[in-house]
Structures are given as structure tokens and as C-alpha cells.
Amino acid sequence: MLDPQAQALMTLLSEKGIPPVHTQTPAEARASYRARRSFTQPDAPEVGRVQDLQFSHAAVSIAVRVYHPAGADAALPALVYLHGGGWTIGDLDTHDVLCRSLCQQAHGVVVAVDYRMGPEHKFPAAYEDAVAAWQWVAQQAANLGIDPARIAIGGDSAGGNLAAAACLGLRDLGHKPVMQLLIYPSTVMAPDTDSYRNNGQGYMLTRESMAWYTGNYLRNLQDTLDWRASPQLASSHANLPQAFVLTAGFDPLRDEGLMYADALSRAGVSSQYICFERQIHGFITMGRVLQEANTAVAMCAQALRTAWAQA
């Protein structure tokens, strides 16, 4: 059964005539996504300090927002966070409340990354930014008040895709984040799953929207087979960071998250999998109107604390 709060939200959005994302231009979709956040997101929790910074890699400048919890006087563990939005929409502001919440509840530094997006910047730009962001945080750990031995990476939806792919790329470069936090991640660019078929209409994220997002991001069909876009297709999932994978029951991406958690487990990687069976894609940022969103955030914070403590 769909969560009644989720059903009420979808009914309200339908009544308000919110146009489907795939019928909008990227600029329109970004503005619409940004405008909706005040309706669905909780009030922004207070944290100790927030810094807007930039770093450069390969002649590209990337904005980051660094959240420090209150009362921190020693080097803290950190999470490099990649926002969702189909590699097309979303920014530092759309996920500000979530990053503040994770910073406060997990008591660690959160570094949110404003990676390049499509259609202006095609694959693999976002992937490259994700890898570079984690490396920059590791290199700048002392300046940022971060323990370099306890840096995790995570994200939701497209951001979960980027976090999973970045872990593969970082492994091959000789680096290993302490954990990967994957919130309803996309893990294969041409899905053929029960959840994609059964949940592809009527639950916020649709097949048409997914095609619009991937069309904005990818250069061609060949990119769907590249593990940097479809981390499920990597030749090996061994020696990757432990994972906490969270999905939603009425999400077309649900089965991709489960498939990835299973792939990690088969490869000997510690992997936890949780499905919020009654929820829809995108729910974790909607704590003002969906009670289970706040439970999910608390679970993610606990998973981070546990991984950091183990490290």
C-alpha cells in the first residue's frame, strides 16, 4: 500500500497542475524543482558553520558547500554528498536541508558538491567531478577540519549513481572512501526490472521523465554500457567501501538499488539494504509532508556514525 501521506502529496501536485519534468526545458525544470522545496522540506536545522567554497580540476571550477556541526573541536569524519535530480536539475540549495540534517544528526562534516550537469555538460563530466570532489576533500582534510581516514561518499538518485560509480573509479586509483551511502540510486542506464515496469507511471518519477534525464546526461546509447554511467555493469565490485543502500517500494529505481546491494554482497563487500516499502522516489527530502522521510534521514545518519566509528 502506498503511504497515505505520499498519496496526498501526489494528489495535491496533480491538482496544482505541476507539469511533468519531461515537458519542460532544463531551465524550467530546475526553477520548478527549486521552488517546490519550501513546500515539502522541513525547516533548515542549525549547524555550527557553513562555508561556500570552490575547487578546480582539469581547468573546471566546482562549487561546494561545507557544513560543520556545532561543538566540533577536533578533526571530524566527513561525507562528500552528491545531490539528486537526474543529472539535470538540483543544486546546493535544493539539498541544503538534507545536508544540514545529516551534518547535525551524524555529527560529521558534510561537503555538498555542485557538479556539472546535462545537457550543458554531458557524461562523463558529472562522474569526473564526483571523483575529483572526493580527492579534493581528502587532500584538503587538514584545512577543512576533517579526518582524512574517515571520508565517506553518498548521494540520492542521480547522486547515488555518481557516488557508486565514483567508488569504483576511486578504487582503481588506489583510494577507498570509508562508506558509500546510496539513496534510491540509479545503477543501470537501460533498466529492465519489475519496478521499472510496474512503477514507471503514477508515482512521481516516470519512464518518460527517466528518458528525459538520461537523454540530457548521456551522449549516446553506448554510454549506457559504461560502468561510470551504469555501475551495476562494472566487471568487479570487489574491494569497494561498505554500503548502506536505501530504496522506496513505489520507485521505478527500487530494483536497481537491490541489485547493486546484492552485487556488492556477492563480491564480499559489507552491504546493508533497506526498502521503505510504501514510499515514492525522492521522498527523503520531503520531511515536512512525509513522516517516513525523517525516519530515513535518521537511519542514514546512524549508518554514517557506525561506519565512521568502525574506521
Point out the residues that are catalytic: 157, 251, 281
Name 176's Cβ contacts closer than 8 Å, sequence gap at least 6: 167, 170, 239, 240, 241
In a 10 Å sphere around its CB, with 0-12 CB exposed, 13-18 middle and 19+ buried, how is residue 142 labelled? exposed
What would the grid cell of residue 48 be?
555550527
* Cα 66 from Cα 85, distance rounded (Å): 20
* Cα 76 from Cα 222, distance rounded (Å): 41
Do 125 and 75 contact (CB within 8 A), yes or no?
no
